[in-house]
Amino acid sequence: AQSVTQPDIHITVSEGASLELRCNYSYGATPYLFWYVQSPGQGLQLLLKYFSGDTLVQGIKGFEAEFKRSQSSFNLRKPSVHWSDAAEYFCAVGASGSSNTGKLIFGQGTTLQVKP
């Protein structure tokens, strides 16, 4: 069965420091991978996506992620965190195939706190 694991429930970093949020997935074929961000009381905003091709993908707000098939990982990175990045981050996998249309499987999320 497809699954997504975000090992870190909560991460605190200082403003200006670098950030890496971990994501591991379990899926038989090549997955479609996504990172979303959610501010309190809000919906999910798409940060970036990986479908195929270059394994390093750039997203909005200065985020990037690297797909590593050998490690089944899709970690999110940012070189310098801003206080406004404090939010909850979700990694998700979209299953391929006609029977899986419209379905995203999400990790449990990582809450990012930014210290001044």
Partner 1 sequence: KAGVTQTPRYLIKTRGQQVTLSCSPISGHRSVSWYQQTPGQGLQFLFEYFSETQRNKGNFPGRFSGRQFSNSRSEMNVSTLELGDSALYLCASSRTAEGLTEAFFGQGTRLTVV
Is residue 21 within the footprint of partner 1 (CB under 8 A)? no
Is residue 42 within the footprint of partner 1 (CB under 8 A)? yes
The nearer residue to partner 1, 52 or 70, going by C-beta atoms, is 52
Sole window of 14-22, 56-64, 72-80, 107-115 interacting with partner 1 (rule: CB under 8 A): 107-115
CB of 84 closer than 8 Å to CB of 22: no
Q: Which of 19, 26, 23, 20 is nearest to 34 (CA)?
A: 23
Q: Give the residue, chosen from 28, 43, 53, 116, that forms a contact with partner 1 under the rule CB under 8 A.
A: 43
CB of 38 closer than 8 Å to CB of 87: yes
Q: Cα dihedral angle (46, 48, 52, 57), rounded to 10 degrees?
A: 180
Residues interacting with partner 1, by CB under 8 A?
32, 34, 36, 41-46, 49, 51, 90, 92, 94-109
